Amino acid sequence: MDALILALETSCDETSAAVVRGTTILSNVVSSQAALHAKWGGVVPEAAARAHVEAILPVISEALTGASCSLAEVDAIAVTNRPGLVGALSVGVTAAKALAFSLDKPLLGIHHLEGHLMSPLATDPSLPFPHLCLIVSGGHTELVRVDAWGQTTILGQTIDDAAGEAFDKSARLLGLGYPGGFAIQEAAKTGDPARYKLPKGLSGDTLNFSFSGLKTAVLRLVEKEGENLSVADAAASVQEAIASVLAERAVRAAEAFGAEVLTLAGGVAANARLRELLNRESNQAGIRLVTPPVELCTDNAAMIGLAAAVRFGRGERDDLSLEALPNAPLP
């Protein structure tokens, strides 16, 4: 039987714990700090670390209760140890080390983006290789060729802002608050995506992205339209600009190396319009699209557990010298 793994995630502003057995998720508890950071309009690292300290033990208890298991039954402790806000990461890493040491259980440090990359395993436990993954989060926008778990090549990425950042900054300019992605999606429901023409960044056959021009264009639009601005139409136009360029480039990248499967991961992967466009375009190209459930798109510990299940199964272990690292390349 696969190992029972308790996974922790505290790299940014969600405190999360999950219990997984192989690719089966037994529990996944996420305590979001969004309300705390909303008043500042973004994540304040000091406040995030303090909130993780308060939430981590109750979140772990709830995850164990949800999975109907005790700490003694757990076979290994996994934790996001890189990359992220170092103070936030340290809370999870310290908790995981304390548990591993006191219970005498193996410890495993997981790369946050590898967690996102493996989140589609919840939908399809036997994803074929090579496949292409579009990772779109608050800090990353990457087209990743996955030849095997741990063997990845970045085929394209943003040269400035991440897609999630573009959603968040545009939402702020439109007065929609934080976090912005979901707020834009909601406001866009009644909006006309063709009303305002917004730039999609780099053109031509590149696999890279640029979203900083979009942010500037939204600022100009807000200034120019003043009180006449339709927030719904602007939100729909922003969403369309971001989602259409992501979908077009992801499908083109998958076609370029003959990938049969395209996967989607990261907070922005929760976006319904992006899912709709990717579905349509991958269908037309004869590529199978595998998307994780929406609750596994934004930060969560279940995806860290899925990545840990693969690495633990291969015999990988870390020792108590495991460190929280703010920067680290995708393995």
Interface ranges with ligand KG4 (CB under 6 A): 12, 137-139, 164, 167-168, 179-182, 185, 266-268, 270-271, 298-299
| Shortest distance (Å) from residue 201 CB to ligand KG4 | 17
- CB nearer Zn ion, residue 84 or residue 193: 84
Nearer to ligand KG4, 141 or 282 (CB): 141
**CB-nearer residue toward ligand KG4: 74 or 250:** 250
What's the distance, Cα to Cα, between the start and end of the chain in Å?
27
Binding flag, residue 165, Zn ion (CB under 5 A):
no
Distance between CA atoms of residues 328 and 14, nearest Å? 20
Q: How many CB atoms lie within 10 A of CB 120?
A: 26
Nearer to Zn ion, 9 or 281 (CB): 9
109 binds, options Zn ion, ligand KG4, none, Cβ within 5 to 8 A by partner type: none
CB of 308 to ligand KG4, least distance (A): 17
Per DSSP, helices labelled H in the chain are 34-38, 45-66, 86-103, 112-118, 163-173, 180-188, 212-225, 231-256, 272-284, 301-313
Q: Does 299 bind Zn ion (CB under 5 A)?
A: yes
| Residue 321, beta-bridge partner list | none
Q: Count Cβ neighbours within 10 Å for each residue of 7-36 and write b for 16 or more, e otherwise.
A: bbbbbbbbbbbbbbbbbebbbbbbbbbeee
CB of 165 to ligand KG4, least distance (A): 6
Quote the least distance from Cβ 112 to Zn ion, whole Å. 6
Task: State in angstroms the smallest separation of the CB of 11 from ligand KG4.
Answer: 7
Token pair in block for residue 134:
């579009």
Q: Please, which residue, 19 or 296, has the CB nearer to ligand KG4?
A: 296
Which part of the chain contacts Zn ion (CB under 5 A), choosing from 182-190, 221-229, 297-305, 322-330?
A: 297-305
